[in-house]
């Protein structure tokens, strides 16, 4: 995010909002080719959509997107081969489950879903170049950097450094995947207008 008045960097507000418990549950079709872009979205992404609506309503937030060339990542298969478990018949739970900072579990999830989640963790675009077109079960555990985006994307992770693997190492060792750095256009949100929030 870029632009905006100085007060957005220092002033803090408590916001309480509630949504129906089942609002973020999505049932995926058995054929991964039939999965829509909206269904690929994780629970965190759906939550951020609701937050954007709230910001527009209460803060009068107006933004516009820009494409800026910067570092992105390509998700590819490591030389050792993929270690994700193929799923032919999805169970009751499908998609990605965030179990806290540095832990993601996939249930009949696609590589596109994983790429979306990695983009949140890395705060830049991640493109799926694995050529793995099915649905997979997997567990990914890594040590996030202090200050990195939380799974919800709403607040930074505050944690001490530990001896756990980095995201790059965990991907290769646990899932048989790797991230390759590249240059490409990345969408940036630029603030055109924002006001201090309106009262209830």
Domain residues of the chain, as ranges? 6-193
Q: Which residues partner with 135 through β-bridges?
A: 87
Which has the higher per-residue pLDDT, 26 or 149?
Answer: 26
Main-chain dihedrals φ then ψ at residue 57, nearest 5 degrees: -75, -45
For the cut 90, the answer to whether the pLDDT of residue 17 exceeds it is no
Q: Give the containing element (helix H, strand E) for 111.
A: helix 111-122
Task: Please check whether residue 77 is in contact with residue 179, taking contact to mean a CB–CB distance below 8 angstroms.
Answer: no
pLDDT (tens digit, 9 = 90+) per residue, 97-134?
A: 887 889 999 999 999 999 999 998 998 899 999 999 99
Share of the chain above pLDDT 70, in %: 76
pLDDT at 81: 96
Task: Please check whether residue 155 is in contact with residue 64, taking contact to mean a CB–CB distance below 8 angstroms.
Answer: no
Report CA-CA distances (Å) from 127 to 3, 75, 148.
27, 6, 20
Closest by CA position to 3, among listed 196, 193, 191: 191
* Residues 190, 193: Cα–Cα separation, whole Å: 9
């Amino acid at each position: 995010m870029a632009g905006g008045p100085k007060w957005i960097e220092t002033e803090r507000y408590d916001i309480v909002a509630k949504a129906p418990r089942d609002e973020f549950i999505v049932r995926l079709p058995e054929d991964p080719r039939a999965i829509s872009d909206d269904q690929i979205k994780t629970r965190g992404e759906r939550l951020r959509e609701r937050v954007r609506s709230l910001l527009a309503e209460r803060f009068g937030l107006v933004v516009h997107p820009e494409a800026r060339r910067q570092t992105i990542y390509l998700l590819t298969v490591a030389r050792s081969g993929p270690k994700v478990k193929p799923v032919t018949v999805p169970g009751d739970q499908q998609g990605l489950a965030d179990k806290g900072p540095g832990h993601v579990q996939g249930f009949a999830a696609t590589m596109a879903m994983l790429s979306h989640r990695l983009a949140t963790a890395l705060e830049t675009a991640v493109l799926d170049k694995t050529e793995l077109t099915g649905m997979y079960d997997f567990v990914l555990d890594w040590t996030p950097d202090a200050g990195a985006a939380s799974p919800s994307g709403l607040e930074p992770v505050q944690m001490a450094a530990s001896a756990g693997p980095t995201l790059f190492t965990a991907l290769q060792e646990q899932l048989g995947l790797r991230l390759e750095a590249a240059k490409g256009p990345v969408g940036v949100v630029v603030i055109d207008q924002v006001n201090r929030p309106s009262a209830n």
